Amino acid sequence: MSILSKRQLFQQLSKEEQIRRIMKMSDDEAEKLFYDWDWNARPQQRTPDGDWMIWLVMAGRGFGKTRVGAEWIKEQVKTNKYVNLIGATSDDAKQIMVQGESGILSVCDRWDRPTFKNGQLYWPNGAISLIFSAEEPDRMRGKQHMKLWADELAAWRYPDAWDQVFLGLRLGKNPQACITTTPRPTKLIKDLIKEKSTIITRGSTFDNKNNLAPSFLNKIIDKYEGTRLGRQEIYAEVLEENENALWTLKQIDDLRVENYDSFSRIVVAIDPAVTSSAEADFTGIVVAGKGEDGHYYIIKDLTVLAKPADWARVAINAYYDYKADRIIAETNNGGDMIEDIIRNLDGNVSYKKVTATRGKILRAEPISALYEQGKVHHIGMFGKLEDQMVNYTGDTKQKSPDRLDALVWALTELSENKNGGWIDFIDEENTKKKEETARSSGGWF
């Protein structure tokens, strides 16, 4: 491959020569040029030279990471028979990596477009692409790859799925993986960065601004510019721990578990959005449980951007799917309307409303203390929720952390009980003082 792309070489020609060549092109040649990645790619989107096993593309939202992965797969199937894909979820693999606007089916012309059936891609030359979900790591045991595209690795719920994938990267003369992801400072990402066999491509949202809708850019800038999370989501920085936040990713990682299913209680907590418009916040929905071991477990983050009836249905379905004993919802925004919506959809669920009488940081501090005690475990990884946890400092300029709020409500409900919880932990010293005062005054006992 030349150092300059075909487009760059073409642009060095005179205007007259450019026009002459365009006019001579047949319809088929024009179509092929439209799908030619060497013609369309920006320099940093092109496959790097050199001896590498992992190509780690860490870039901001809208950079064109999906297009990079799809085009790389399209190129690799020309000389490799087993070129596979793995997404964060099965829906992501299908709807983004395969069928998305920048997915494989969209970047292939009619001569090389594969057939998608039975969860696999069948290429015209006989190559096959198996498609996996990182939520089902056991399915990858024994599967082998010549080339592999792994998307949004930093958001995989079970990071150990990468171990299963990597063990299968052993076919052919030069097995390689292309990883496209928005970075998070997880141990897995940091380890991959340090690997000698890893080559890294970095990029920001603004590198692709000419191909992005102005409304998207404005929304991204409004939401993230000038924030720590913006450095991650826009500029693809791998952030260090935020010393002003109540949680650290290391703390969450150290307490993380892959499975747990012995619960004495499970609740579904809702932090409702104020409106359901396009500019509305997400409605935080978190499923959490108290284990038979007395510890607390985050089971699922079901946060959605949806109308009230739709997010209420998500919560109700979770209530039954996870055999919860209660739905709880913060009613500062929406009041009794929230209960009315849920009751109209299903009058049989157990429901409790909660009202915020203290600031978010004051509500979150006792829950942070439970983590410090080693009593809260995440079952798998919840990237977006954890990003809010490790970046939220209570700054008034920060947007309301919907997922985090739902988590706090869930754990508050589970830990506020007669058998002990964060109230006992926080008030232990005050209680001792009250007992001493009562004894000396002859009261209580």
Rounded to whole angstroms, the Cα distance separating 424 from 153 reads: 40
Most confident residue range from 170-184, 328-342, 388-402 = 170-184
Residue ranges of domains in the chain: 41-233, 249-427
Task: Please give the residue that has the higher pLDDT: either 404 or 398.
Answer: 404
Contacts of residue 70, Cβ cutoff 8 Å, sequence gap at least 6: 97, 102, 103, 104, 106, 107, 149
pLDDT value of residue 337: 87
Rounded to whole angstroms, the Cα distance separating 130 from 145 reads: 9
Q: Does domain 41-233 bear CATH number 3.40.50.300? A: yes
Rounded to whole angstroms, the Cα distance separating 433 from 423 reads: 15
pLDDT value of residue 280: 55
| Of 104, 100, 106, residue with least CA distance to 120 | 104
Predicted confidence (pLDDT) per residue in 49-82, tens digit: 999 999 999 999 999 999 999 999 999 999 999 9
Residue 445's pLDDT band (boundaries 50, 70, 90)? very low
pLDDT value of residue 133: 95
| Of 380, 425, 439, residue with least CA distance to 134 | 380
Residue 421's pLDDT band (boundaries 50, 70, 90)? very low
Pair 145, 108: CB distance under 8 Å:
no
pLDDT value of residue 5: 67
Neighbour-count burial of 439, counting CB atoms closer than 10 A to its CB (0-12 exposed, 13-18 middle, 19+ buried) = exposed
Enter the tokens of residue 83: 């070129």
pLDDT value of residue 220: 86
pLDDT value of residue 375: 97
Assess whether pLDDT exceeds 70 at residue 444.
no
| pTM exceeds 0.75 for this model | yes
pLDDT value of residue 33: 83
Pair 400, 272: CB distance under 8 Å:
no
Would you put residue 108 in left (φ > 0), alpha (ψ -120 to 50) or beta? Answer: beta
Predicted confidence (pLDDT) per residue in 238-274, tens digit: 988 888 899 999 999 999 999 999 999 999 999 998 6
Residue 435's pLDDT band (boundaries 50, 70, 90)? very low
Predicted confidence (pLDDT) per residue in 126-179, tens digit: 999 999 999 998 888 889 999 999 999 999 999 889 999 999 999 999 999 999
Task: Please give the residue that has the higher pLDDT: either 337 or 374.
Answer: 374
Let me know how many helices (H) and strands (E) the chain has, helices first: 18, 14
Q: First and final CA of the chain: distance in angstroms?
A: 87
Residue 422's pLDDT band (boundaries 50, 70, 90)? very low
Rounded to whole angstroms, the Cα distance separating 440 from 445 reads: 10
Give the CATH number of domain 249-427: 3.30.420.240
DSSP code string of 109-150: -TTTPPEEETTEEE-TTS-EEEEEETT-GGGGTT--BSEEEE
Average pLDDT, the chain: 88
Assess whether pLDDT exceeds 50 at residue 278.
no
pLDDT value of residue 396: 59
pLDDT value of residue 393: 85
pLDDT value of residue 190: 93
pLDDT value of residue 293: 97
Residue 427's pLDDT band (boundaries 50, 70, 90)? very low
pLDDT value of residue 428: 40
Of the chain, the percentage scoring pLDDT greater than 70 comes to 89
